[in-house]
Chains A and B, each alone.
Chain A
Amino acid sequence: MQILAEAEDLPKTANIKTQLISLWTVPVFGVVFLIAFIAFPGFLPPMSPNLTADQVAAFYREHTAAIRFSMVTYDLLGVMLIPFFMVIVVQMKRMTTQSHVFAYCYLTAAVSGATVFALANIFYLVAAFRPERNPELTMLLNDMAWITFIAPVGMIVGQNLLLGLAVYFDTSQSRPRSPAGPVFPRWVGHFSVATALAIAPAAMAAIVKTGPLAWDGLLSFWLRNGAYAVFLVVMFFVVRAALQRQAVSEGVAA
């Protein structure tokens, strides 16, 4: 984005710049997440929930360093998506034809969701902290880690449905009085709802141990995580375009 020279020091320019920086957390930390994902020895392929306690303990003994590297990375940087969620909140609050109740609900759900994400990696790290622990205990920690990581999808599902609703209610037209028009194109609403639906079945991962809904299954692992990764990539470009429109409409960029 080309910031106009005369707008360089204006407060509204800083607002655009901080949003841009927050948005860029997505590709930067996305790469970091990808590295941590590949580095975890139990993701490619995902660990089966049907391993015995001794097999789980052996996994933590044999791969201690890689598990620690991967999960410390998630611990330190996993919640770095919060600035991105906050850009979405701020963009939802630019929608002129609604009360912004969706934005506040989205904000609350995003904060709650982050607490869950911040907990999951701790369980992996505790299991790896003393790999010589009684295998029954290591398996318990591993179960809690996987269940906390994969299954509590309610907050993400809620966030995406709220974003979808906000887009549907953003009915402003490009008129002389409100030149900006809708903040996001309408398909973003469908896309957000579709992502929520793709993620929802993973709640079953806390219940079943085999098949596509198990935590290592096609739906609960690959579709859930894949859909969210695609959502992040697409939303990076969508939000970047929205920021460009905001900057132009506010006279910050040409």
Chain B
Amino acid sequence: MTDVASPSTSDTESGAAPTTPKAGKRDVWIVFFIVPAFYTAFGIIFFALTRTMPPPRPDITTAQMVDFFENHSTTIRIGFGLLILIVGGAGIANGIVMYHMKRMSTGSVLAYSYMGGMAVGALPGCLLVAICFLTATFRPGRDPELMAFLYDLGLLSYVGSLGCFSVAYFAFAIAILYDRNEIFPKWLAYISVWQIVTEILAVPVFVSRAGAFAWNGSISFWMGTVVFGIWLSCVIMFLKKATELEPVDAPPLD
């Protein structure tokens, strides 16, 4: 398109352009839209289907754990069956954050650190609980003690995988604070610091079987979940903004 075209011709010529986003690139947009779609599915899977959000209680009898798997067998299978199919969305969500972090003036180190923490965290943070719960519902007649083992292993790894995400939040916060390209607002860094605090406050889940610091407790679970929800909403919002503000003619990233 020539830059000196008359208004009428430029309107017709670029007729398709204004309806597509003015800034950002189509491939980044495709990846961006997968992020809210994946986390919506993630929320439905963990809250509505598999009943891991809020988690079932740690202070119940072995028989009650068996009942939990029995009562929610169908939805656990649907939910975690779906999760292991679409979990690539987690890789995509991490990839686009890494992409925008690499656009910061802070260099690649923190972007790669974020990717490393998050990519490793997918296994203890969401896949292992899926494997445990699917193994439990796979054979309902199993010895109740083994069902209780799968219950504990699944939930402790899910709520208690701390360091992988802490390192990612740490890298994210430092990158935002030092970035001069204004990819994300500075206050998002402070919310990320709170994410690390909630990971630390989840340490007692390995000791405490009831109360505020148990894996379903008000501090170890609920506070962390609320902060995570706020953090994730902000990240999605500002990923959108960063994608909008990215120039269409920006060269491919190194």
Contacts and interface: CB of A to CB of B under 8 A. Distances in A.
Nearest to A94: B252
A177 B143 CA distance: 68
Interface size class of B (residues with CB under 8 A): 35 or more
A119 B85 contact: no
Interface in A143-167: 143-144, 147-148, 151-159, 161-162, 165-166
Contact of A104 (B82, B95, B149): B95
Given A105-B91, A112-B91, A206-B84, 15 more contacts: A102-B31, A105-B96, A105-B99, A112-B87, A137-B146, A140-B135, A143-B135, A151-B84, A154-B87, A166-B27, A169-B27, A203-B84, A206-B80, A206-B131, A207-B134
Contact of A158 (B91, B96, B115, B143): B91
A227 interface: no
B81 A204 contact: yes
Contact of A162 (B92, B134, B150): B92
A97 to B, nearest CB: 8
A190 interface: no
Interface centre among B27, B88, B120, B137 (most CB of A within 10 A): B88
Contact of A169 (B26, B115, B139): B26
Interface stretch (B3-11, B122-130, B187-195): B122-130
The main secondary structure of chain A at its interface with chain B is: helix
Contacts of A109: 88, 91-92, 95, 119
B173 to A, nearest CB: 19
A115 interface: yes
B180 interface: no
Contacts of A139: 139
A116 interface: yes
A91 interface: no
15 contacts: A98-B27, A99-B246, A99-B252, A101-B27, A101-B28, A108-B92, A111-B115, A119-B123, A144-B132, A147-B138, A154-B84, A158-B87, A158-B89, A158-B91, A166-B27
B146 A207 contact: no
B248 to A, nearest CB: 10
Contacts of B25: 98-99, 101
A144 to B, nearest CB: 5
A245 interface: no
A207 B250 CA distance: 46
Contact of A108 (B115, B131, B137, B149): B115
B76 to A, nearest CB: 10
Given A108-B118, A206-B138, A153 B96 contact: no
